[in-house]
Amino acid sequence: MKTVDAIAAELEGYDPFALSVSTVNAFLSKLVEPVADEESVTLVQALGRVLSQDLISPINVPPHDNSAMDGYAFDGAQLSAQAPLNLKVVGTAFAGKAWQGVARSGECVKIMTGAIMPTGLNTVVPQEFVTRSPDFHDMAVVIPKGLLQTGDNRRKLGEDLIQGQPALRKGQLLTPAAVGLLASLGIEQVSVWRKLRVAYFSTGDEILSLGEAPREGAVYDSNRYTVMGLLMRLGCEVIDLGVVRDQPALLEAAFMRAAGVADAIITSGGVSVGEADYTRTMMKKLGDVAFWKIAMRPGRPMAVGRILKNKSVSSDAAVLFGLPGNPVAVMVTFLAFVRPALLQMMGSTATPAPLLQARSLTPLRKKPGRTEYQRGIVATLSDGALGVKVIGNQGSGVLSSMVQANGLIVLHHAQGDVAAGDQVAVMMFDSVI
């Protein structure tokens, strides 16, 4: 396990007092490791979990060639570009059981969607395209010329999944679609990585827990609820350690308790340079921690590293994310750094949702040399393109604009001022929260 200094030494442009957002992410991807324990869960419990083994398909899906339409099945070799095809209907194939008869040349079988293709037949004409023919006492259909090719409207055996081949790979995040796919294979139980355990506590003598009486200079602890919400949406097991007063013994006890039970520890507050508190001192004492000023807004100060579970065993440690105190800075640093790092720890190999491009409806001031996140409302414009406008007070403590916003405008490190009408990147909350 590499020390924080060793990881920093591998990174180009590592400057703890002016770290770029991309360097922070590069650092974190080297710091964290996926959990190693697996467990078996039922499909109902599997949503949001991450597969710990390749899943080999036990069957072919679909298990037979079958019809994609309600219509008439026939042998496509009889099709001709020159003339319509006149076929006698010799039976009906229903979904759920095989039609037992034999259709010869000049014959077809009425077939329902999903029904097994009768032996020797490979093409289906949808019922709306045929006309009845007076031949054979109305028991015949006419297929217009030039409409179909052999194989049309037939689903092939194994066209979705092939028996013996991986249907899903290790590291797959189990979305509703993935869970449905597992069910289509008849699988009831899957191996997943165990849930990530994440401990959280807020720091600061001015922070009130809910239920405490308001007092001068004090604010209620909102960070605990935003962070716990973000963690629950990620499917982590949350260990809530409340608010910890700014006293060395209490902080030490909280860190040791957290490190003892969790894979990762998240704290808020007390990481800015020059804070008159013990949080930084205690992080340094109990672990291997770097203190950064990140070139971003909001969310400048952050502490990252490991807290040792046992002071004599340096390899056994919980990852530490010491987030700033300001409520919006907490959410932005979580989305920018903590979320991708936790997904890596959860064993997920999913590529992050791409940022969208939207037209900025107003000019935006932006200083090159830092990444800025602005709360915005993204909407579809009358010409069909996406537009975004900044919403509300952008102060790093203002949660109301965070509630109103449906995404963050991400103004990249090197970017300067934005003119009205320019394209900007946006991170939609729906894709991440």
Residues near ligand AMP (CB under 6 A): 202, 204, 206-207, 219, 221-223, 268-270, 272, 275, 324-327, 397
Listed residue (304, 252, 297, 239) closest to 24, CA to CA: 304
Could you give the CA distance from residue 104 to residue 152 in angstroms, rounded to a whole number? Answer: 19
**Contact (Cβ atoms closer than 8 angstroms) between residue 91 and residue 109:** yes
Q: Which is nearer to ligand AMP, 155 or 297 (CB)?
A: 297
> For residue 88, what is the enclosing H or E element?
strand 85-93
Distance of closest approach, residue 206 Cβ to Mg ion, in angstroms: 7
Contact stretch for Mg ion (CB under 5 A) within 131-139, 167-175, 269-277, 304-312:
269-277
**Contact (Cβ atoms closer than 8 angstroms) between residue 191 and residue 51:** yes
Distance of closest approach, residue 332 Cβ to ligand AMP, in angstroms: 13
Contact stretch for Mg ion (CB under 5 A) within 10-18, 62-70, 143-151, 204-212:
204-212
Q: Which is nearer to Mg ion, 172 or 279 (CB)?
A: 279
Distance of closest approach, residue 386 Cβ to ligand AMP, in angstroms: 32
Q: Which is nearer to ligand AMP, 265 or 317 (CB)?
A: 265
**Contact (Cβ atoms closer than 8 angstroms) between residue 339 and residue 432:** yes
Q: Which is nearer to Mg ion, 270 or 298 (CB)?
A: 270
CA dihedral 356, 232, 237, 206 (to 10 degrees): 110
Query: Choosing among ligand AMP, Mg ion, none, which partner's interface includes residue 127 (Cβ < 5 to 8 Å by kind)?
Result: none
Distance of closest approach, residue 320 Cβ to Mg ion, in angstroms: 17
Cross-strand bridge partners of residue 291:
303
Q: How far is CA 397 from the centre of its chain?
A: 27
Q: Which is nearer to ligand AMP, 23 or 333 (CB)?
A: 333
Could you give the CA distance from residue 160 to residue 378 in angstroms, rounded to a whole number? Answer: 36
Is there binding between residue 301 and Mg ion (CB under 5 A)? Answer: no
Could you give the CA distance from residue 431 to residue 347 in angstroms, rounded to a whole number? Answer: 19
Query: Choosing among Mg ion, ligand AMP, none, which partner's interface includes residue 71 (Cβ < 5 to 8 Å by kind)?
Result: none
Cross-strand bridge partners of residue 45:
none
Is there binding between residue 269 and Mg ion (CB under 5 A)? Answer: yes
> Which residues have CB under 8 Å from 166's CB, separation 6+?
54, 55, 56, 57
Residue number of the CB atom closest to ligand AMP: 325
Distance of closest approach, residue 221 Cβ to ligand AMP, in angstroms: 4
Q: Which is nearer to ligand AMP, 236 or 266 (CB)?
A: 266
Q: Which is nearer to Mg ion, 267 or 374 (CB)?
A: 267
Among the residues of 185-239, which ranges form H helices? 223-234
Could you give the CA distance from residue 85 to residue 161 in angstroms, rounded to a whole number? Answer: 34
Distance of closest approach, residue 318 Cβ to Mg ion, in angstroms: 22
Could you give the CA distance from residue 11 to residue 304 in angstroms, rounded to a whole number? Answer: 15
Query: Choosing among Mg ion, ligand AMP, none, which partner's interface includes residue 219 (Cβ < 5 to 8 Å by kind)?
Result: ligand AMP
Residues that bind Mg ion (CB under 5 A): 204, 269-270
